[in-house]
Structure 1
Amino acid sequence: MRKTLLLLLLSQVAFGQAPTRYIIRAGKLFDSENKRFKTNQEILVEGDRIKKVGKLTAKDRANAEVVDLSRSTVIPGLIDSHSHLLLSQVSGVPMERDILAISEEERIRRAGQYAKEYLDAGITTVKDLGNSGQYLDLILRKQAESGTTASPRIWASGPILSPPNGQFGKLPEAHKALPEKEYTIVKTPEDAVAAVTEHHKRGVDVIKVCVTNDNGLILSPEILQAIVKTAHAKGLKVTAHAPFDDVVRDAIDAGVDGIEHGYGIGDSTLQRMAQKKVYLVPTDGTFEGYKGILSLGEWKAADSDVNDFVKKAKDRLLRAVKAGVPIVYGSDAYLKSPEHRGAAAKDALISYFVAGLAVGDVLQIGTYNGAVAAGKAGELGVIKPGARADIVAFEGDLETNFRPVISRDASFAMRDGKVFRK
């Protein structure tokens, strides 16, 4: 028993200090609900919650460890609402190469390293949306929940519900069984009900559906409706991989909560999304980010083609904002990059700024909006009394020097009141 307790204490010291009382002094503090920066603010943290924000009393200060972040900008922990921690793909290389090359154990180990890199980058919550084998993401989530590993909070979808063949291209005969090991294949409304029921039984946090795949197969409106109806009845939200306007409309009509990617959405469809309060996750990137990925890959693209893609994504984002569509930050980071996984994931956030959104809008998209979309408003994505103590800081002034400052790793990272980076 004594040895077990010692190991537990050591793990807490190594990966996150045990919950206690902290006073965080912020150079600037971002109010994500109101998109405002405040100065001369202090945050009192007790256990895993934020107790008080603003001016603190002598009683508040008693027995509290002071964290001086007076040279930093303090924000709620970032929320990446579209990640794939259990996948690593080289640009231009078929997805199955990575999946076939390493064991499930190695996928989990590697994902744990990626998770730490997310936390280093200031991302304290990730929504992991499939490409994770058969529920390997739930194993990863359990590790994160233990508090003994440096990891963001993980919301897991389990295997993506998909048409036959998943998102694989043409597979050789020897690998024909691979889609059923990586996805949940649905062919009928009955399949859809059974799939969602099994996911719920396993304990997933969200349902991810691939409305269409790279082979041109599309889930019918009846199947989509069965997925959404069953998921909502069980208290689960549904988000849809839907890159083109026609399948986006099918997903919206079926009642999904969110759209992932949505590169080709037309204005009338954006208006429908706004009316129904369906959020959009623009998994965009910067020119520099895409060039870095391509530099390590086997597929080459002319600078003009990369610029054209970035320009179209920017246009879609700005039209969505103008239409009033709720925007939620998601990176879709799974391709090898010169940067570590967490840093690469922030490229999507930076792309919103490069597209012309104000700093306050970008940070709200990266924090508050992700919490609202997940049904966690007031608990995550904010720094206010009663919220979970997910707090990160970046050395410098995010308000006036956004891109260079956000590109750095966090100078401080706290999740659930535990300090993982200081």
Structure 2
Amino acid sequence: MNLHVRGTILPDGVTRDLWVLGDRITFERPRVESETVARGGFVLPGLVDVHTHPGAAEDGGFDGELFGEQVAAHREAGTALLRFPGLSGTVPDAVREAVGAPRMITAGRWLAWAGLSRKAEFHTVTEELAQAAAAEAVAHDGWCKIMGDWDFEAPPVPYDVMRAVVEAVHAVGGRVAAHCQSADGVLNAARAGIDSIEHGMGMPEESLGFMAANGAAYVPTLTAFAGSRAEVAARGTARSRVWLAGHDTMIRRVGEAHDAGVTVLAGTDSAPFGNVASEVGHLVAAGLPADVAVGAASWRAREFLGLPGIEEGGLADLTVYEADPRREPAVLAHPRRIVVRGQVVR
């Protein structure tokens, strides 16, 4: 059965009818009968979480069953597109190809340069970081994930190594996401032309100009950091004070990044899953205009990742809300109707 939706289409703000034919959108009324699944309200391209790690087991490994459960939580919240910047295992085909499953962009394993001073169990450590990064981008969905640094105090991956990674990945048509926490790590990644900087704790202001010039995105994952702040503050150690100062900096950089022309995107990082609406709230609190924050989890994120929004022939991912989320961002947590890949989820 074809689907019919009438509502105010965002971000354009025009009220009109659209139809879902399979996994595509059309504004031309089909000759066959269609089921009206939404009339009135505000219609967004399906939500996007650009930084999430479902399936991460407590031991640092990958749990395929848990992955399926957490992806389902994303879908039930209206999140129709997920980017995984680093997974410890392989996405189960049964989950990825299931009817109504969110679209998924993988980036392969977390790649760590052998020169980093500290390595986690889930990192894949290599001397040949550029070669490994290019291979991951080719093997997955055009993205790879590297660790730009690890500790706050230790030197990050050197600029020349980062630049070699960018050149190698771009040469095969891929893009690079970099985990960065320290100021030097962020600056090296920004200067090297990294495509997205994840977290960015301690981000120096001068990095914003490089990011804007290179078309890089900033994915601060504020939800995850906000959940850890009270625990870190209670420690009262020198290291915790560095963490807190870095957290303050990354919050301040959100609005400054937008003002500098950097694309800011919404990613939640970890549990609870299906919680990208909370990230939008944190982005607004950090100074991002509400409409920009909503776009960071919808149309702008899709554009950055190379997917269309609500347009003729576009993908059939829709969420419908009673109120305009550009004016009431909290409504994102309460979708009235969810369509993912042309299938009614709610």
> Shorter-chain TM-score category?
0.7 to 0.9
User: Which residue is 2:146 aligned to?
Assistant: 209
Q: Structure 2: where are the runs of 5+ without partners? A: 236-240
2:112·2:147 contact (CA, 8 Å) conserved in 1? yes
Match for residue 77 of structure 1 among 38, 43, 46: 46
Aligned-pair identity in percent equals 22
Q: Against the structure 1 CA distance between its residues 139 and 402, is the aligned structure 2 distance closer, same or farther, given a 3 Å change threshold?
A: closer
2:6·2:18 contact (CA, 8 Å) conserved in 1? yes
CA distance in 2, matches of 1:159, 1:46: 36
CA distance in 1, matches of 2:149, 2:245: 24
What is the CA deviation profile of residues 242-261 of structure 1, one whole-angstrom value per residue up to 9, with x for unaligned ones? 22332222112322111112
- 1:392 aligned to 2:301? no
Cα deviation for residue 164 of structure 1 reads: 4.0
Cα deviation for residue 67 of structure 1 reads: 0.9
Larger Rg: 1
Cα deviation for residue 217 of structure 1 reads: 5.2
Cα deviation for residue 117 of structure 1 reads: 0.7
CA distance in 2, matches of 1:161, 1:64: 48
What is the CA deviation profile of residues 35-57 of structure 1, one whole-angstrom value per residue up to 9, with x for unaligned ones? x4333x211111111111xxx65
Q: Against the structure 1 CA distance between its residues 67 and 205, is the aligned structure 2 distance closer, same or farther, given a 3 Å change threshold?
A: same
CA distance in 1, matches of 2:33, 2:125: 55
CA distance in 2, matches of 1:30, 1:309: 35
Cα deviation for residue 234 of structure 1 reads: 1.3
User: Which residue is 2:172 aligned to?
Assistant: 234
- 1:24 aligned to 2:5? yes
2:148·2:178 contact (CA, 8 Å) conserved in 1? yes
TM-score where L is the length of structure 2: 0.86
Higher helix share: 1
CA distance in 2, matches of 1:194, 1:275: 25
User: Which residue is 1:49 aligned to?
Assistant: 24
Q: Indicate the SS of the match to 1:342.
A: coil
Cα deviation for residue 280 of structure 1 reads: 1.2
User: Which residue is 2:132 aligned to?
Assistant: 195
What is the CA deviation profile of residues 297-353 of structure 1, one whole-angstrom value per residue up to 9, with x for unaligned ones? x76649xx9997765443211111111112122222x24xxxx4212x332111112
What is the CA deviation profile of residues 345-398 of structure 1, one whole-angstrom value per residue up to 9, with x for unaligned ones? 332111112234333211222222222322x1xx33x11112111111234442
Cα deviation for residue 232 of structure 1 reads: 1.1
1:4-403 matches, within 5 Å, as 20-26=1-7, 28-31=8-11, 36-39=12-15, 41-52=16-27, 60=30, 62-70=32-40, 72-87=41-56, 98-99=58-59, 104=62, 107-130=63-86, 132-133=87-88, 136=89, 138-140=90-92, 142-148=93-99, 151-164=101-114, 179=121, 182-187=122-127, 191-200=128-137, 202-214=139-151, 216=154, 218-285=156-223, 290=226, 301=234, 312-332=249-269, 334-335=270-271, 340-343=272-275, 345-374=276-305, 376=306, 379-380=307-308, 382-403=309-330
Q: Against the structure 1 CA distance between its residues 112 and 186, is the aligned structure 2 distance closer, same or farther, given a 3 Å change threshold?
A: same
CA RMSD of aligned residues (A): 3.0
The number of equivalent residue pairs is 339
Question: Where do 4+ consecutive residues of structure 1 move more than 6 Å?
Answer: 165-169, 305-310
Q: Against the structure 1 CA distance between its residues 108 and 167, is the aligned structure 2 distance closer, same or farther, given a 3 Å change threshold?
A: farther
What is the CA deviation profile of residues 131-154 of structure 1, one whole-angstrom value per residue up to 9, with x for unaligned ones? x32xx2x423x3344134x53111
Cα deviation for residue 120 of structure 1 reads: 1.2
CA distance in 2, matches of 1:121, 1:217: 40
Q: Structure 1: where are the runs of 5+ without partners? A: 1-19, 89-97, 170-177
Deviates more, 1:215-224 or 1:252-261: 215-224
Q: Against the structure 1 CA distance between its residues 222 and 266, is the aligned structure 2 distance closer, same or farther, given a 3 Å change threshold?
A: closer
1:208·1:239 contact (CA, 8 Å) conserved in 2? yes
Q: Indicate the SS of the match to 2:68.
A: helix
Q: Which amino acid aligns with 1:163?
A: W
Q: Against the structure 1 CA distance between its residues 418 and 219, is the aligned structure 2 distance closer, same or farther, given a 3 Å change threshold?
A: same
2:137·2:175 contact (CA, 8 Å) conserved in 1? no
Q: Indicate the SS of the match to 2:288.
A: coil
Q: Which amino acid aligns with 1:261?
A: H
CA distance in 1, matches of 2:285, 2:195: 27
